[in-house]
Structure 1
Amino acid sequence: MKHLITAILISGLLFSCNSSSESETETEDTTSVDMVSEKLTSDTDKQFKPIETEEALIATSLMAAPKDSRSGCKVIGYNMEGEFVTFREGENEFIVLADNPNKEGFNAACYHKDLEPFMARGRELRAEGKTRDEIFEIRGEEMESGKLKITPGLTLHIYYGPNETYNPETYEVEDARLRYVVYMPYATQESTGLPKSPSAPNHPWIMEPGTHRAHIMISPLSKDDK
Protein backbone atom coordinates (compact mmCIF):
# COMPACT_ATOMS: atom_id res chain seq x y z
CA MET A 1 0.00 0.00 0.00
CA LYS A 2 2.86 2.33 0.91
CA HIS A 3 4.52 1.62 -2.47
CA LEU A 4 1.23 2.36 -4.28
CA ILE A 5 0.83 5.74 -2.56
CA THR A 6 4.46 6.62 -3.34
CA ALA A 7 3.95 5.74 -7.01
CA ILE A 8 0.85 7.92 -7.19
CA LEU A 9 2.70 10.87 -5.64
CA ILE A 10 5.64 10.54 -8.09
CA SER A 11 3.26 10.34 -11.06
CA GLY A 12 1.54 13.51 -9.89
CA LEU A 13 4.84 15.37 -9.62
CA LEU A 14 5.95 14.27 -13.08
CA PHE A 15 2.64 15.38 -14.61
CA SER A 16 2.94 18.74 -12.89
CA CYS A 17 6.53 19.26 -14.18
CA ASN A 18 5.60 18.28 -17.72
CA SER A 19 2.61 20.61 -17.72
CA SER A 20 4.74 23.50 -16.47
CA SER A 21 7.45 22.83 -19.07
CA GLU A 22 4.89 22.63 -21.89
CA SER A 23 3.33 25.88 -20.69
CA GLU A 24 6.72 27.70 -20.72
CA THR A 25 7.55 26.37 -24.19
CA GLU A 26 4.20 27.48 -25.51
CA THR A 27 4.75 30.97 -24.09
CA GLU A 28 8.20 31.24 -25.70
CA ASP A 29 6.89 30.01 -29.04
CA THR A 30 3.99 32.45 -28.90
CA THR A 31 6.36 35.32 -28.08
CA SER A 32 8.62 34.41 -31.03
CA VAL A 33 5.65 34.27 -33.39
CA ASP A 34 4.43 37.64 -32.11
CA MET A 35 7.89 39.19 -32.63
CA VAL A 36 8.11 37.88 -36.20
CA SER A 37 4.56 39.03 -36.87
CA GLU A 38 5.34 42.51 -35.55
CA LYS A 39 8.47 42.73 -37.76
CA LEU A 40 6.56 41.66 -40.86
CA THR A 41 3.81 44.16 -40.07
CA SER A 42 6.41 46.88 -39.54
CA ASP A 43 8.09 46.11 -42.86
CA THR A 44 4.73 46.05 -44.63
CA ASP A 45 3.60 49.31 -43.07
CA LYS A 46 6.82 51.15 -43.95
CA GLN A 47 5.76 53.69 -46.54
CA PHE A 48 8.04 55.81 -48.68
CA LYS A 49 6.89 59.35 -49.36
CA PRO A 50 7.78 61.74 -52.19
CA ILE A 51 10.35 64.44 -51.40
CA GLU A 52 8.02 67.43 -51.69
CA THR A 53 9.27 69.92 -49.09
CA GLU A 54 12.50 71.81 -48.52
CA GLU A 55 12.83 70.16 -45.10
CA ALA A 56 12.63 66.69 -46.63
CA LEU A 57 15.07 67.68 -49.38
CA ILE A 58 17.65 68.85 -46.83
CA ALA A 59 17.17 65.88 -44.51
CA THR A 60 17.50 63.28 -47.27
CA SER A 61 20.49 65.04 -48.84
CA LEU A 62 22.27 65.07 -45.48
CA MET A 63 22.33 61.27 -45.67
CA ALA A 64 25.33 61.74 -47.96
CA ALA A 65 27.37 63.06 -45.02
CA PRO A 66 28.95 61.01 -42.23
CA LYS A 67 26.33 60.51 -39.53
CA ASP A 68 28.19 62.33 -36.76
CA SER A 69 28.82 65.36 -39.01
CA ARG A 70 25.35 65.97 -40.44
CA SER A 71 24.26 68.56 -37.90
CA GLY A 72 27.16 70.88 -38.79
CA CYS A 73 27.23 70.62 -42.60
CA LYS A 74 26.65 73.57 -44.86
CA VAL A 75 23.86 72.73 -47.32
CA ILE A 76 23.60 74.24 -50.79
CA GLY A 77 21.74 73.35 -53.98
CA TYR A 78 18.64 73.92 -56.06
CA ASN A 79 15.40 74.57 -54.22
CA MET A 80 11.93 73.51 -55.36
CA GLU A 81 11.68 76.62 -57.56
CA GLY A 82 14.90 75.77 -59.39
CA GLU A 83 17.03 78.49 -57.74
CA PHE A 84 20.54 77.70 -56.53
CA VAL A 85 20.60 78.73 -52.87
CA THR A 86 22.34 78.22 -49.55
CA PHE A 87 19.84 76.30 -47.45
CA ARG A 88 21.91 76.75 -44.31
CA GLU A 89 25.42 77.72 -43.22
CA GLY A 90 27.79 75.15 -41.76
CA GLU A 91 30.06 74.70 -38.78
CA ASN A 92 32.38 71.88 -39.87
CA GLU A 93 34.52 70.80 -42.82
CA PHE A 94 31.68 69.44 -44.97
CA ILE A 95 29.46 70.93 -47.66
CA VAL A 96 26.38 69.03 -48.81
CA LEU A 97 25.16 69.61 -52.34
CA ALA A 98 21.49 68.70 -52.16
CA ASP A 99 19.66 66.60 -54.71
CA ASN A 100 18.22 68.60 -57.59
CA PRO A 101 14.45 68.15 -57.14
CA ASN A 102 13.86 68.99 -60.80
CA LYS A 103 15.86 66.01 -62.07
CA GLU A 104 14.86 62.37 -62.12
CA GLY A 105 16.25 60.06 -59.46
CA PHE A 106 18.19 61.11 -56.39
CA ASN A 107 21.77 62.36 -56.24
CA ALA A 108 23.19 64.25 -53.27
CA ALA A 109 26.87 64.84 -52.55
CA CYS A 110 28.93 65.70 -49.50
CA TYR A 111 32.48 66.97 -49.93
CA HIS A 112 35.26 68.65 -48.00
CA LYS A 113 34.92 72.44 -48.01
CA ASP A 114 38.39 72.82 -49.58
CA LEU A 115 36.94 71.25 -52.74
CA GLU A 116 34.37 74.03 -53.12
CA PRO A 117 36.45 76.23 -55.52
CA PHE A 118 36.84 73.25 -57.86
CA MET A 119 33.17 72.26 -57.54
CA ALA A 120 31.90 75.83 -57.90
CA ARG A 121 34.00 76.33 -61.03
CA GLY A 122 32.39 73.27 -62.54
CA ARG A 123 28.91 74.59 -61.79
CA GLU A 124 29.86 77.97 -63.26
CA LEU A 125 31.13 76.47 -66.49
CA ARG A 126 28.10 74.19 -66.75
CA ALA A 127 25.81 77.22 -66.37
CA GLU A 128 27.68 78.82 -69.26
CA GLY A 129 26.71 75.88 -71.44
CA LYS A 130 30.11 74.18 -71.50
CA THR A 131 30.15 70.46 -72.25
CA ARG A 132 31.59 67.81 -69.95
CA ASP A 133 34.75 67.57 -72.06
CA GLU A 134 35.15 71.36 -72.14
CA ILE A 135 34.79 71.58 -68.37
CA PHE A 136 37.37 68.83 -67.95
CA GLU A 137 39.84 70.66 -70.21
CA ILE A 138 39.31 74.11 -68.67
CA ARG A 139 39.64 72.95 -65.08
CA GLY A 140 42.66 70.87 -66.05
CA GLU A 141 44.39 73.96 -67.41
CA GLU A 142 43.45 75.95 -64.33
CA MET A 143 44.84 73.20 -62.10
CA GLU A 144 48.14 73.25 -64.00
CA SER A 145 48.36 77.05 -63.78
CA GLY A 146 47.67 77.00 -60.06
CA LYS A 147 44.37 78.87 -60.32
CA LEU A 148 42.62 75.81 -58.93
CA LYS A 149 44.02 73.37 -56.40
CA ILE A 150 43.00 70.02 -54.97
CA THR A 151 44.89 68.74 -51.95
CA PRO A 152 45.41 64.96 -52.31
CA GLY A 153 43.15 63.04 -49.98
CA LEU A 154 40.11 65.32 -50.05
CA THR A 155 36.90 63.29 -50.11
CA LEU A 156 33.54 63.28 -51.84
CA HIS A 157 30.60 61.13 -50.71
CA ILE A 158 27.71 60.55 -53.12
CA TYR A 159 24.29 59.28 -52.01
CA TYR A 160 22.37 58.23 -55.10
CA GLY A 161 19.56 56.06 -56.40
CA PRO A 162 16.80 55.75 -59.00
CA ASN A 163 13.91 56.80 -56.76
CA GLU A 164 12.66 60.10 -55.37
CA THR A 165 10.87 58.70 -52.30
CA TYR A 166 12.09 58.42 -48.73
CA ASN A 167 11.32 56.90 -45.34
CA PRO A 168 10.03 59.81 -43.20
CA GLU A 169 11.22 58.10 -40.01
CA THR A 170 14.86 57.61 -41.05
CA TYR A 171 15.17 59.97 -44.07
CA GLU A 172 16.71 57.13 -46.07
CA VAL A 173 15.94 57.37 -49.77
CA GLU A 174 14.42 54.27 -51.30
CA ASP A 175 17.11 52.04 -52.86
CA ALA A 176 19.81 54.72 -52.50
CA ARG A 177 23.46 53.78 -52.00
CA LEU A 178 26.73 55.50 -51.14
CA ARG A 179 29.75 55.91 -53.39
CA TYR A 180 33.05 57.35 -52.14
CA VAL A 181 35.72 59.36 -53.94
CA VAL A 182 39.20 60.29 -52.70
CA TYR A 183 40.88 62.87 -54.94
CA MET A 184 44.51 62.15 -55.86
CA PRO A 185 45.46 64.61 -58.66
CA TYR A 186 47.79 63.11 -61.29
CA ALA A 187 48.04 59.77 -59.46
CA THR A 188 48.40 56.66 -61.61
CA GLN A 189 47.90 52.94 -61.31
CA GLU A 190 51.66 52.61 -60.89
CA SER A 191 51.95 55.29 -58.18
CA THR A 192 49.07 53.90 -56.12
CA GLY A 193 49.03 50.19 -56.88
CA LEU A 194 45.28 50.35 -57.51
CA PRO A 195 43.47 48.64 -60.40
CA LYS A 196 41.69 50.66 -63.11
CA SER A 197 38.39 48.90 -62.41
CA PRO A 198 36.80 47.45 -59.26
CA SER A 199 37.60 43.82 -58.56
CA ALA A 200 34.71 43.38 -56.10
CA PRO A 201 31.95 45.43 -54.44
CA ASN A 202 33.33 48.24 -52.26
CA HIS A 203 36.89 47.64 -53.45
CA PRO A 204 38.96 50.74 -54.29
CA TRP A 205 40.11 51.48 -57.82
CA ILE A 206 41.59 54.47 -59.61
CA MET A 207 39.60 56.49 -62.14
CA GLU A 208 40.96 59.00 -64.68
CA PRO A 209 44.55 58.17 -63.67
CA GLY A 210 47.31 60.64 -64.59
CA THR A 211 44.88 63.57 -64.89
CA HIS A 212 44.02 66.47 -62.61
CA ARG A 213 40.83 64.60 -61.74
CA ALA A 214 42.48 61.31 -60.81
CA HIS A 215 40.63 59.83 -57.86
CA ILE A 216 40.17 56.65 -55.89
CA MET A 217 36.67 55.25 -56.26
CA ILE A 218 34.88 52.95 -53.84
CA SER A 219 31.59 51.99 -55.45
CA PRO A 220 28.96 49.50 -54.28
CA LEU A 221 28.35 47.01 -57.07
CA SER A 222 25.09 45.10 -57.43
CA LYS A 223 25.12 41.32 -57.57
CA ASP A 224 24.58 41.50 -61.31
CA ASP A 225 27.64 43.70 -61.94
CA LYS A 226 30.78 41.92 -63.09
Structure 2
Amino acid sequence: MKQLLIVLTLFGVLMSCNSSDKKQPKTEEPNTKTIETNSTSENNQKELVAINTDEALIATALMAAPKESRDKCKVIGYNMAGEFITLREGNNEFIVLADDPKKPGFNAACYHKDLEPFMARGRELRAQGKSAMEIFNIREEEAKSGKLDMGKPGSTLHIYYGKNETYNPKTSMVEGAKYRYVVYLPFATAESTGLPEKPISANHPWIMNPGTHRAHIMISPLPEDNN
Protein backbone atom coordinates (compact mmCIF):
# COMPACT_ATOMS: atom_id res chain seq x y z
CA MET A 1 0.00 0.00 0.00
CA LYS A 2 2.81 2.38 0.91
CA GLN A 3 4.53 1.78 -2.44
CA LEU A 4 1.25 2.43 -4.27
CA LEU A 5 0.84 5.80 -2.51
CA ILE A 6 4.39 6.84 -3.45
CA VAL A 7 3.78 5.97 -7.12
CA LEU A 8 0.50 7.91 -7.22
CA THR A 9 2.18 10.96 -5.61
CA LEU A 10 5.06 10.98 -8.14
CA PHE A 11 2.59 10.62 -11.01
CA GLY A 12 0.63 13.63 -9.77
CA VAL A 13 3.77 15.79 -9.54
CA LEU A 14 4.84 14.88 -13.11
CA MET A 15 1.40 15.71 -14.54
CA SER A 16 1.43 19.08 -12.78
CA CYS A 17 4.86 19.99 -14.22
CA ASN A 18 3.91 19.01 -17.79
CA SER A 19 0.71 21.03 -17.59
CA SER A 20 2.60 24.11 -16.35
CA ASP A 21 5.26 23.84 -19.08
CA LYS A 22 2.68 23.67 -21.88
CA LYS A 23 0.73 26.66 -20.67
CA GLN A 24 3.70 28.97 -20.02
CA PRO A 25 4.68 30.01 -23.60
CA LYS A 26 1.06 30.56 -24.65
CA THR A 27 0.56 33.20 -22.00
CA GLU A 28 3.87 35.11 -22.35
CA GLU A 29 4.51 35.42 -26.09
CA PRO A 30 1.24 37.18 -27.10
CA ASN A 31 1.53 39.59 -24.18
CA THR A 32 5.07 40.59 -25.22
CA LYS A 33 4.00 41.25 -28.81
CA THR A 34 0.98 43.27 -27.70
CA ILE A 35 3.12 45.49 -25.51
CA GLU A 36 5.66 46.07 -28.32
CA THR A 37 2.93 46.86 -30.88
CA ASN A 38 1.14 49.27 -28.60
CA SER A 39 4.41 50.98 -27.71
CA THR A 40 5.34 51.46 -31.40
CA SER A 41 1.88 52.79 -32.24
CA GLU A 42 1.99 55.27 -29.36
CA ASN A 43 5.44 56.52 -30.41
CA ASN A 44 4.26 57.10 -33.99
CA GLN A 45 1.25 59.04 -32.77
CA LYS A 46 3.45 61.20 -30.52
CA GLU A 47 5.58 62.20 -33.52
CA LEU A 48 2.60 63.67 -35.41
CA VAL A 49 1.34 67.15 -34.63
CA ALA A 50 -1.21 69.50 -36.16
CA ILE A 51 -0.21 71.95 -38.90
CA ASN A 52 -1.28 75.01 -36.93
CA THR A 53 1.52 77.59 -37.23
CA ASP A 54 2.96 79.62 -40.11
CA GLU A 55 6.26 77.80 -39.61
CA ALA A 56 4.50 74.45 -40.01
CA LEU A 57 2.74 75.69 -43.15
CA ILE A 58 6.10 76.64 -44.67
CA ALA A 59 7.85 73.42 -43.66
CA THR A 60 5.13 71.14 -45.03
CA ALA A 61 4.67 73.21 -48.21
CA LEU A 62 8.36 72.87 -49.05
CA MET A 63 7.91 69.10 -49.21
CA ALA A 64 6.22 69.69 -52.59
CA ALA A 65 9.48 71.05 -54.03
CA PRO A 66 12.45 69.00 -55.23
CA LYS A 67 14.64 68.27 -52.20
CA GLU A 68 17.73 69.99 -53.61
CA SER A 69 15.76 73.22 -54.28
CA ARG A 70 13.81 73.66 -51.02
CA ASP A 71 16.25 76.01 -49.31
CA LYS A 72 15.76 78.78 -51.89
CA CYS A 73 12.08 78.45 -52.85
CA LYS A 74 9.70 81.34 -52.42
CA VAL A 75 6.65 80.32 -50.37
CA ILE A 76 3.27 82.01 -50.75
CA GLY A 77 -0.21 81.25 -49.45
CA TYR A 78 -2.64 81.82 -46.63
CA ASN A 79 -1.18 82.24 -43.16
CA MET A 80 -2.97 81.08 -40.00
CA ALA A 81 -4.69 84.47 -39.80
CA GLY A 82 -6.30 83.88 -43.20
CA GLU A 83 -4.22 86.43 -45.13
CA PHE A 84 -2.71 85.57 -48.52
CA ILE A 85 0.90 86.69 -48.21
CA THR A 86 4.48 85.82 -49.05
CA LEU A 87 5.32 83.43 -46.22
CA ARG A 88 9.01 83.28 -47.17
CA GLU A 89 11.14 84.99 -49.81
CA GLY A 90 13.15 82.92 -52.28
CA ASN A 91 15.48 83.33 -55.23
CA ASN A 92 15.40 80.19 -57.37
CA GLU A 93 13.12 79.00 -60.19
CA PHE A 94 10.36 77.65 -57.93
CA ILE A 95 7.33 79.16 -56.21
CA VAL A 96 5.67 77.06 -53.51
CA LEU A 97 2.00 77.45 -52.66
CA ALA A 98 1.27 76.42 -49.06
CA ASP A 99 -1.76 74.48 -47.89
CA ASP A 100 -4.85 76.56 -47.08
CA PRO A 101 -5.37 75.92 -43.34
CA LYS A 102 -9.07 76.76 -43.65
CA LYS A 103 -9.76 73.89 -46.07
CA PRO A 104 -10.00 70.21 -45.06
CA GLY A 105 -7.12 67.88 -45.88
CA PHE A 106 -3.71 68.95 -47.12
CA ASN A 107 -2.69 70.32 -50.53
CA ALA A 108 0.59 72.11 -51.28
CA ALA A 109 2.07 72.81 -54.71
CA CYS A 110 5.38 73.85 -56.21
CA TYR A 111 5.56 75.31 -59.70
CA HIS A 112 8.08 76.89 -62.03
CA LYS A 113 8.11 80.69 -61.77
CA ASP A 114 7.23 80.97 -65.49
CA LEU A 115 3.76 79.69 -64.57
CA GLU A 116 3.11 82.51 -62.09
CA PRO A 117 1.04 84.70 -64.50
CA PHE A 118 -1.25 81.71 -65.20
CA MET A 119 -1.51 80.79 -61.51
CA ALA A 120 -1.97 84.37 -60.33
CA ARG A 121 -4.73 84.96 -62.88
CA GLY A 122 -6.56 81.92 -61.56
CA ARG A 123 -6.34 83.18 -57.98
CA GLU A 124 -7.55 86.60 -59.07
CA LEU A 125 -10.59 85.18 -60.86
CA ARG A 126 -11.45 82.88 -57.94
CA ALA A 127 -11.31 85.89 -55.60
CA GLN A 128 -13.88 87.52 -57.89
CA GLY A 129 -16.20 84.58 -57.33
CA LYS A 130 -15.80 83.03 -60.79
CA SER A 131 -16.64 79.35 -61.19
CA ALA A 132 -14.12 76.76 -62.37
CA MET A 133 -15.66 76.74 -65.86
CA GLU A 134 -15.67 80.54 -66.04
CA ILE A 135 -12.00 80.64 -65.03
CA PHE A 136 -11.15 78.05 -67.66
CA ASN A 137 -12.97 79.94 -70.44
CA ILE A 138 -11.50 83.34 -69.48
CA ARG A 139 -7.94 82.04 -69.37
CA GLU A 140 -8.47 80.07 -72.57
CA GLU A 141 -9.47 83.23 -74.42
CA GLU A 142 -6.67 85.28 -72.89
CA ALA A 143 -4.05 82.62 -73.67
CA LYS A 144 -5.19 82.34 -77.28
CA SER A 145 -5.04 86.11 -77.72
CA GLY A 146 -1.57 86.31 -76.17
CA LYS A 147 -2.80 88.39 -73.24
CA LEU A 148 -2.03 85.61 -70.75
CA ASP A 149 1.53 84.33 -70.61
CA MET A 150 1.48 80.55 -70.15
CA GLY A 151 5.23 80.25 -69.64
CA LYS A 152 7.57 77.99 -71.53
CA PRO A 153 6.22 74.62 -72.74
CA GLY A 154 7.32 71.96 -70.28
CA SER A 155 6.98 74.07 -67.13
CA THR A 156 6.15 71.83 -64.19
CA LEU A 157 3.81 71.72 -61.22
CA HIS A 158 4.55 69.43 -58.26
CA ILE A 159 1.63 68.58 -55.97
CA TYR A 160 1.93 67.14 -52.44
CA TYR A 161 -1.50 66.22 -51.10
CA GLY A 162 -3.47 64.00 -48.74
CA LYS A 163 -6.52 63.77 -46.51
CA ASN A 164 -4.71 64.19 -43.18
CA GLU A 165 -3.75 67.44 -41.44
CA THR A 166 -0.93 66.25 -39.18
CA TYR A 167 2.80 66.07 -39.86
CA ASN A 168 6.09 64.94 -38.36
CA PRO A 169 8.01 68.09 -37.30
CA LYS A 170 11.31 66.19 -37.50
CA THR A 171 10.90 65.32 -41.18
CA SER A 172 8.16 67.80 -42.27
CA MET A 173 6.36 64.88 -43.94
CA VAL A 174 2.57 65.04 -43.85
CA GLU A 175 0.83 61.89 -42.68
CA GLY A 176 -0.17 59.78 -45.70
CA ALA A 177 0.56 62.51 -48.28
CA LYS A 178 1.34 61.57 -51.90
CA TYR A 179 2.85 63.23 -54.97
CA ARG A 180 1.49 64.12 -58.39
CA TYR A 181 3.33 65.89 -61.21
CA VAL A 182 1.99 68.04 -64.04
CA VAL A 183 3.93 69.16 -67.12
CA TYR A 184 2.22 72.01 -68.97
CA LEU A 185 2.21 71.89 -72.78
CA PRO A 186 -0.32 74.54 -73.88
CA PHE A 187 -2.50 73.42 -76.83
CA ALA A 188 -0.73 70.05 -77.12
CA THR A 189 -2.77 67.01 -78.18
CA ALA A 190 -2.53 63.24 -78.05
CA GLU A 191 -1.38 63.36 -81.67
CA SER A 192 1.36 65.92 -81.04
CA THR A 193 2.72 64.14 -77.95
CA GLY A 194 1.92 60.49 -78.57
CA LEU A 195 0.30 60.25 -75.13
CA PRO A 196 -3.14 58.77 -74.41
CA GLU A 197 -5.98 61.02 -73.25
CA LYS A 198 -6.78 58.66 -70.38
CA PRO A 199 -4.45 56.81 -67.98
CA ILE A 200 -3.71 53.29 -69.22
CA SER A 201 -2.69 52.13 -65.76
CA ALA A 202 -1.45 53.44 -62.43
CA ASN A 203 1.85 55.32 -62.67
CA HIS A 204 1.47 55.88 -66.45
CA PRO A 205 1.58 59.42 -67.97
CA TRP A 206 -1.34 60.77 -69.99
CA ILE A 207 -2.46 64.12 -71.42
CA MET A 208 -5.31 66.07 -69.84
CA ASN A 209 -7.26 68.96 -71.40
CA PRO A 210 -5.67 68.31 -74.82
CA GLY A 211 -5.86 71.09 -77.38
CA THR A 212 -6.48 73.81 -74.76
CA HIS A 213 -4.34 76.32 -72.90
CA ARG A 214 -4.40 73.91 -69.92
CA ALA A 215 -3.10 70.88 -71.82
CA HIS A 216 -0.75 69.05 -69.51
CA ILE A 217 0.89 65.69 -68.90
CA MET A 218 -0.34 63.99 -65.73
CA ILE A 219 2.03 61.74 -63.76
CA SER A 220 0.85 60.10 -60.52
CA PRO A 221 3.62 57.98 -58.94
CA LEU A 222 2.62 54.92 -56.96
CA PRO A 223 2.84 55.35 -53.17
CA GLU A 224 6.27 54.41 -51.82
CA ASP A 225 4.88 51.42 -49.92
CA ASN A 226 3.54 49.98 -53.20
CA ASN A 227 6.83 50.23 -55.10
Relative to structure 1, is the Cα distance of residues 197 and 221 closer, same or farther in structure 2, using a 3 angstrom cutoff?
farther
Q: CA deviation at 1:149?
A: 2.0
Corresponding position of 1:34? none
Q: CA deviation at 1:41?
A: 5.6
Task: Give distance in 2, aligned partners of 1:220 and 1:71.
Answer: 24
Number of aligned residue pairs: give it. Answer: 186
**Secondary structure of 1:107 counterpart:** strand
Corresponding position of 2:12? none
Corresponding position of 1:11? none
Corresponding position of 2:171? 170
**Secondary structure of 2:195 counterpart:** coil
Q: CA deviation at 1:87?
A: 0.7
Task: Give distance in 2, aligned partners of 1:146 and 1:97.
Answer: 25
Q: Which amino acid aligns with 1:187?
A: A
Q: CA deviation at 1:157?
A: 0.3
Deviation sequence 1:60-119 (CA, Å, 0-9, x none):
010000000000000000011111000111110000000000000000000001100110
Q: 192-201 vs 110-119, which deviates more? A: 192-201
1:45 is aligned to 2:68:
no
Q: Which amino acid aligns with 2:130?
A: K
**Secondary structure of 1:108 counterpart:** strand
Task: Give distance in 1, aligned partners of 2:207 and 2:190.
Answer: 7
Q: Percent identity?
A: 71
1:61 is aligned to 2:61:
yes
**Secondary structure of 1:111 counterpart:** strand
TM-score under structure 2 length normalisation? 0.78
TM-score under structure 1 length normalisation? 0.78
Corresponding position of 1:31? none
Corresponding position of 2:212? 211
Task: Give distance in 2, aligned partners of 1:221 and 1:141.
Answer: 35
Q: CA deviation at 1:198?
A: 1.6
**Secondary structure of 2:138 counterpart:** helix
Task: Give distance in 1, aligned partners of 2:112 and 2:49.
Answer: 30
Q: CA deviation at 1:40?
A: 9.2
Gaps (5+ residues) in structure 2?
1-34
Task: Give distance in 1, aligned partners of 2:102 and 2:176.
Answer: 19
Q: CA deviation at 1:221?
A: 5.6
**Secondary structure of 1:201 counterpart:** coil
Relative to structure 1, is the Cα distance of residues 39 and 115 closer, same or farther in structure 2, using a 3 angstrom cutoff?
farther
Q: CA deviation at 1:44?
A: 4.9
Corresponding position of 1:107? 107
Q: Which amino acid aligns with 1:45?
A: N
Corresponding position of 1:161? 162
Task: Give distance in 2, aligned partners of 1:195 and 1:110.
Answer: 25
Corresponding position of 2:86? 86
Q: Which amino acid aligns with 1:167?
A: N
Instruction: Compute the RMSD of aligned alpha carbons.
Output: 1.9
Q: Which amino acid aligns with 1:198?
A: P
Q: CA deviation at 1:45?
A: 1.0
Corresponding position of 2:187? 186
**Contact 1:74–1:90 (CA under 8 A) maintained in structure 2:** yes
Corresponding position of 1:98? 98
Relative to structure 1, is the Cα distance of residues 194 and 79 closer, same or farther in structure 2, using a 3 angstrom cutoff?
same
Corresponding position of 1:77? 77
**Secondary structure of 2:91 counterpart:** coil
